[in-house]
Amino acid sequence: MKLWDKGFSTDKKIDHFTVGNDRELDLVLAKYDVIASTAHAKMLGKVGLISEEEAKDLVKALGEIGKDIEKGNFTIENDFEDMHSKIEFILTEKLGDTGKKIHSARSRNDQVLVAMQLYLKEELSEIREQVKSLFDLLMDLAEKHQKVLLPGYTHLQIAMPSSFGLWFSAYAESLIDDLYFVQAAHKIADQNPLGSAAGYGSSFPIDRTFTTTEMGFETLKYNVVAAQMGRGKVEKAAAFGISSVAATLSKMAMDICLYMSQNFDFISFPNELTTGSSIMPHKKNPDVFELIRAKCNRIQAVPNQLTLITNNLPSGYHRDLQLVKEVIVPALQDMQACLELMTFSLKEIRVNPKILDDPKYDYLFSVDTLNELVKSGMPFRDAYKTMGKAIENGNFKPKKDIEHTHEGSLGNLCLEQIKAKMEQALSS
């Protein structure tokens, strides 16, 4: 069954190629098509395009379909092109001619638009909550381990003293920046496109403000052509949001992989969070973090994938836009999985409190020792040369009782200010 069926069949090869994996992806989106269809049915009854009784029957039947979806009992067989055709078939089977009336004043174009935007709103909200959970954990870890020092690196060379307080809270504050992108994507998705039909509106006297309120959208996408042009654009906005989060997680996963190695030995995890080797019995591999790194790197490619699908399309609908679903849906699922596993694993992180006892890290303190000469009145450039000669001659004696007091340094992490910044970001 196809919503555009005019009494002739399509060649099976064409059918297979054009439908692709839409049926599988639509199982994810079907819940949102039911939500939108319910609002649409109520609106049709409100404006008099169907009777109040018909509207109630449609709402009831859609509720039953929604329950089947929730229980996992909803399927889209090969006889159906997509979720829209299957849902309309069920409505017609249950209600006869009343079921056939559900498609009045809408197109499959605005159907998929509104379902996708409802889906993106919910997924981005979930990601926002997951980001906040990871942030809270990182801040707790920063506070717990704030006095445990570890080496800071530039060019992967030993540079200056850092701390686990700095390391954990650095990634926490970075997540705030990522959240700004997620929030922006949510705002773009929070505009109701239903009623734009095929992209040029309808001659029916529909009430788009009603469906906007009914579905919980903040506002309308008023211009019907603009609503249609949102297809692909709203998915790309979501992709930019999650790619920002992914960049932070990927970098942290890389740090963890380095810090877990025996050459660093900064952190460890319980055996149950690592994997082994088929031939080397001593191995404790960071497979979870390697996969987070890889998945998050792949997520960062998604905005470019969507750009390449959509960037040379004129206004109006084109079948190319169908392909954005198969890019954004798995990316959102991967993002949630990575956030979940990063948070789950970091709860069990074990920190080495004696890293800097090893004399190979003494040079970390060269800058702090140099600064003591400057404080005593020596010009910085002379102090730099003096310290350089001491290091070269093997006479360097590090000053390890360092004191960093400025905002954001290892002696003044400003954790409360960072927490306040996150709260402000969440409420914006």
What's residue 12's pLDDT?
56
Give the integer Cα–Cα distance in Å for 305 and 326: 11
Q: Which of 284, 299, 110, 132 is nearest to 204 (CA)?
A: 110
pTM summary value: 0.92
Paired tokens of 94? 């249950």
Q: Would strands 219-220 and 191-192 be described as parallel, antiparallel, or unpaired?
A: parallel
The neighbouring-strand residues paired with 162 are 150
Backbone angles phi, psi at 75, to 5 degrees: -130, 160
Could you give all domains of the chain from N- to C-terminal order, each with its CATH number?
A: 12-101 (1.10.275.10), 117-149+162-204+223-354 (1.20.200.10), 359-427 (no CATH)
What does the pLDDT read at residue 149? 96
Element (H, E) at 220: strand 219-220
Cα–Cα separations (whole angstroms), residue 171 to 135, 162, 249:
8, 14, 8
Q: Long-range contacts of range 152-159, CB-CB < 8 Å, 24 or more positions apart? A: 152/364, 158/360, 158/361, 158/363, 158/364, 159/364
Which pLDDT value is given to residue 10? 52
**Residues in Cβ contact with 134 at an 8 Å cutoff, skipping those fewer than 6 apart:** 175, 339, 342, 343, 346
Contact 285, 276 (CB under 8 A): yes
Q: Quickly count: other Cβ atoms within 10 Å of residue 284's Cβ.
A: 16
Query: Structure tokens of 127?
Result: 């990601």
Q: What is the pLDDT along the chain (428 residues), one digit of tens a residue?
A: 544 454 545 555 555 454 557 788 999 999 999 999 999 999 999 999 999 999 999 999 999 999 999 999 999 998 888 999 999 999 999 999 999 999 999 999 999 999 999 999 999 999 999 999 999 999 999 999 999 999 999 999 999 999 999 999 999 999 999 999 999 999 999 999 999 999 999 999 999 999 999 999 999 999 999 999 999 999 999 999 999 999 999 999 999 999 999 999 999 998 888 776 556 766 688 899 999 999 999 999 999 999 999 999 999 999 899 999 999 999 999 999 999 999 999 999 999 999 999 999 999 999 989 999 999 999 999 999 999 999 999 888 888 888 899 999 999 999 999 999 999 999 98
Q: What's residue 197's pLDDT?
A: 96
